[in-house]
Amino acid sequence: MDNFAYIGAVLGLSAGISPGPLLALLIAEVLQHGAKAGIKVALAPVITDSPIIILALFFAAKLASSGRALGMVSLVGGLFVLFLGCQNLVAKSHELKIDYVRPNSLTKGIIVSVLSPYPYLFWLSVGAPLLTKAMSRNIFTAWAFLGSFYICLVGSKMVLAVLVGRSRSFLQGQIYIYVRRAIGLLLCALAILLFRDGLSLANLK
């Protein structure tokens, strides 16, 4: 698991295109206010995730002295990534259920991002252990992981905003399904690597 930029890109792309509260809000904003509103929603994680990352790193640092504890966290992270992978593998067309939503897209995106459980689950079980491992190599590796993750997370949501703005049928088409299933395979492979590392750290291997 040396290529942290690649790992960050896979995780970011998966988070960007998978259905969830933020994607639902993005679609609603695009259909009612245009692609620019959706792009503002896509930027929300960049603003909201910093405190979550700091908290998760603090938690990981507390466990650093215990290989078994870190191993268990890695195993939980592997289960979470496997769950995400399976979700993508069985992907179907994304049904658009749009209610009226007022403007202020960025503000609403921030609120939805803060209240969503997914960022907390991801950074506590997957992101922080990987980022800690990247930081143990050097600061550039850590920034490569973070950079690739957020470029793919925000970038994929921006691309979806533009595509939905041009064609409401995109999320109900085959291309979206195939992309999600390909990402699902990559996530399952990553989950296996997390299981391997977790078993090794916990001395269960």
Distance between CA 20 and CA 138 in Å, rounded? 33
Q: H/E element holding 174?
A: helix 174-201
Show the tokens assigned to 105. 């897209």
pLDDT grade, residue 101 (50/70/90)?
very low
Distance between CA 131 and CA 127 in Å, rounded? 6
Determine the Cα angle at 140 with ends 136 and 143, to 5°: 95
Compute how many other C-beta atoms are within 10 angstroms of the C-beta atom of residue 2: 9
Distance between CA 52 and CA 55 in Å, rounded? 5
Q: What is the pLDDT of residue 157?
A: 93
Q: Is the dihedral of CA 19, 20, 22, 26 positive or negative?
A: positive
Q: Which residue has the higher pLDDT, 170 or 120?
A: 120
Q: What is the pLDDT of residue 169?
A: 65
**Residues 109, 44 contacting (CB under 8 angstroms):** yes
Show the tokens assigned to 192. 């296996």
Q: Which residue has the higher pLDDT, 205 or 20?
A: 20
Domain limits, the chain: 4-201
Distance between CA 158 and CA 162 in Å, rounded? 6
* pTM of the predicted protein model: 0.76
pLDDT tens, position by position, 172-191: 667 777 777 887 888 788 78
